[in-house]
Every structure is written in C-alpha cells, then in structure tokens.
C-alpha cells in the first residue's frame, strides 16, 4: 500500500491565515521525514472550508523544503484554469521538484466558486473535458492545435508550449465520484482516477476502482500497476477512547457545516446543473456518516493504532491500495495533528509490502 497526507487549507477561526499555510508546509516536511509516499493539496475558493487558492504555488513551496515525498494536487479545478497556463505551471513545478509532481484535476462542484470566478457551472463538465484534452496536447505535441467553443489554437500560429515536464508521461489523475460517465471518460483518455472523500463515505471506492479498471481495458488502456489514490479521514491516538475524546473536544462538524453551506452545486432554489444529479443526497449522507466509526462501507481511520490497522486491512482486502489522509479536524491543536501523523506512520512496515487485490464489484448505474 501507499500512503499520503492531504490538506485543503481549512481555516478555523482559532488560527491566522499565516498559520494555515505554515502548518501545510510543516506537515509536508514531517511527512517527508516519516516516509510518506505523497502529500496532496486541494484547491478551494471563497470560504473557510479551504483557502488553498493555488495548489501549484503551495506545491512549489513544498518542493523547496522536501526531498523525496511526491507532491500531488487533489485537485486543481480544471474549468477554472487556462489549460495552457496550467500545463506550463505544472511543468515548472515538476522541474523544480525534480520530477515529483502528480497533477490531479477535477470538474469542481461548489456553485459558490463557479459564481465567484464568473464561470457557469452548467458548463463545468464540457469545459473540464475540453481543457483536459488541451492539457494533454500541451505536453505531448510539438505544435498545439485545437478547436472548440472554449479553446482554439491554429496550426498557422505554431504555438509551442514550454517548459515540458521532467516526467514522461506526466502523472495525471482525474477526480471522480460515482458517476459512471466521468469514470468512463477518464478511462477513455487513459487517465487514472482518484477517489474523493464523499465517495469513500458512501463506501463505494472499491467499486469505482474496479469500474475504472474495466473501462480502461475496454478502451485498450492497461491499468496494470496503476495505484488509485483514495481520500480518507484519519486521526490516530494512543487509545480509541483518546481519539474519540479529542474529536469530541472540537466542533467535529465545523467543516461539514461549511460544506453544506458552500460546498454544493445545488442552487438556492434547489436546482442541480446538468451532470450533478447524483449530488441530491450527498451532503446529507456526508454529514450523517463522515465521522461515524461504525458506518457501513469503509469507516474512517479513527482510533488507536490497532483499530486503524484493522481498518486498513479491510481496505486493502476490498481493493484499495493507496490512501491519502486528511488528519485531524479544524480547531484541533497542531501538536495533536502532528502526533497523529507520527503514529500513523508506524503502520507503514506492515502494509508497504502487501498489494491490494482487484475488487470484483461494479459501479451502480
């Protein structure tokens, strides 16, 4: 198995903005020292749910203070970006990090963010797919040629995109939920998927991974040896009781309340944009189940080391072999979060040499 650390820059009222970014950097340094495989950064705008407005700026900062840990974006919201500029910026970070960047991209889902950036959320999926095709061409082709309603680059202009990434091919991931069309699109482009927290809460990460593998093969792409990152909530303490008490001591649904208020594509009148129909009950299910240690599916990695080991074994047996954890909760002391990260690293020896079997399940229609 592989293990990563995930941060979106949640800004609790007890912290300053400077502390948020200092903690992100210092947690990455700690992860590098402890032997984590990766650190992941998630883009968000316009709320305390996440103030990491530019993942690649933060990635470059982390690259300058770490040596071995891979640096991933989970995710860059692709419809918000000019794909050519993103291709250039990602290539620069890949160069500056000596080939350690994993670029995760996603469609986005927060209506507030689309409104604030003056991008119609109804166009999110079309823009994502078009921008992804341009991004791939920027790294692959000598001359960029593309024509669509969103991006046009003519052969006669002879646009050459530099710099190119160190890694060939550049590691690219598409964030997906449970929508079969999104998973199939990623497979059609030969792009690995990454699975977000809400999908994990529903217990469907193994199904998503298996469906993607099936579609990769159908499109003539080989999924062998590709690890699929899955987001998990993580908090490890000396005992189960201590972990429960630490979580109870803070407002455990602080971030979920923000998610319910801002983190949804649903309009104030209750309307859903095209392609987001499966969101109808996701926020409700997320709030109900996210931190329930006994929920069905794949419970969060919360508790003592023995409890976390047991749940990791269940994850591994279900077909999940790469997790990136969001450690602790907003409002929890940085000392407790760092201790949780250190304790979690003690499981590495048991799981590093074990490969996950392919899950034999399917995404529901």
pLDDT above 90: percentage of residues in the chain: 73
Q: Is the pLDDT of residue 34 over 90?
A: yes
Could you report how far apart the first and last alpha carbons of the chain are, in Å? 29
> Average pLDDT for residues 272-287, to the nearest whole number?
60
Domain ranges (residues) in the chain = 2-351
Q: What is the CATH number of domain 2-351?
A: 3.20.20.30
Residue 130 CB: number of other CB atoms within 10 A? 19
List, for residues 203-233, the tens digit of each pLDDT value: 789 999 999 999 999 999 999 999 999 999 9
Residue 326, classed as helix, strand or coil, is strand
Between 9-13, 72-76, 192-196, 290-294, the lowest mean confidence (pLDDT) is in 290-294
Going by DSSP bridges, is the β-strand pair 152-153/146-147 parallel, antiparallel, or unpaired? antiparallel
Using a cut of 0.85, tell me whether the model's pTM lies above it. Answer: yes
| Measured distance CA(138)–CA(146) in Å, rounded | 10
Backbone angles phi, psi at 102, to 5 degrees: -115, 115
């Amino acid at each position: 198995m592989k293990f990563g650390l995930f941060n979106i820059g949640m800004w609790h009222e007890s912290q300053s903005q400077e502390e948020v970014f200092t903690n992100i950097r210092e947690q990455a340094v700690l992860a590098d020292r402890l032997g984590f495989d990766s650190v992941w950064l998630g883009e968000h705008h316009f709320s305390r749910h996440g103030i990491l407005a530019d993942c690649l700026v933060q990635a470059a900062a982390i690259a300058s203070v770490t040596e071995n840990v891979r640096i991933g974006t989970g995710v860059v919201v692709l419809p918000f970006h000019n794909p050519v500029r993103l291709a250039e910026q990602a290539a620069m970070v890949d160069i500056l990090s000596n080939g350690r960047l994993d670029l995760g991209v996603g469609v986005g889902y927060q209506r507030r963010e689309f409104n604030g950036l003056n991008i119609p959320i109804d166009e999110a999926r079309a823009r994502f797919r078009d921008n992804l095709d341009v991004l791939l061409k920027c790294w692959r082709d000598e001359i960029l040629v593309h024509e669509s309603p969103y991006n046009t680059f003519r052969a006669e202009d002879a646009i050459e995109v530099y710099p190119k990434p160190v890694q060939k091919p550049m590691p690219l991931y598409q964030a997906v939920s449970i929508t079969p069309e999104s998973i199939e699109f990623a497979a059609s482009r030969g792009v690995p998927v990454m699975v977000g927290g809400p999908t994990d809460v529903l217990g469907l990460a193994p199904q998503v991974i298996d469906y993607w593998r099936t579609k990769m093969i159908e499109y003539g792409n080989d999924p062998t040896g590709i690890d699929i990152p899955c987001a998990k909530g993580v908090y490890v303490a000396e005992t189960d009781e201590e972990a429960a008490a630490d979580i109870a001591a803070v407002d455990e649904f602080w971030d979920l309340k923000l998610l319910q208020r801002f983190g949804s594509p649903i309009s104030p009148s209750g309307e859903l944009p095209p392609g987001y129909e499966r969101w109808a009950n996701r926020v409700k299910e997320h709030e109900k189940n996210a931190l329930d240690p006994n929920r069905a599916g794949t419970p969060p990695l919360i508790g003592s080391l023995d409890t976390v080991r047991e749940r990791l074994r269940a994850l591994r047996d279900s077909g999940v072999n790469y997790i990136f954890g969001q450690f602790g909760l907003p409002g929890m002391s940085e000392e407790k979060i760092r201790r949780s990260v250190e304790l979690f690293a003690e499981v590495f020896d048991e799981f590093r040499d074990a490969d996950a079997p392919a899950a034999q399940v399917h995404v529901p229609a």
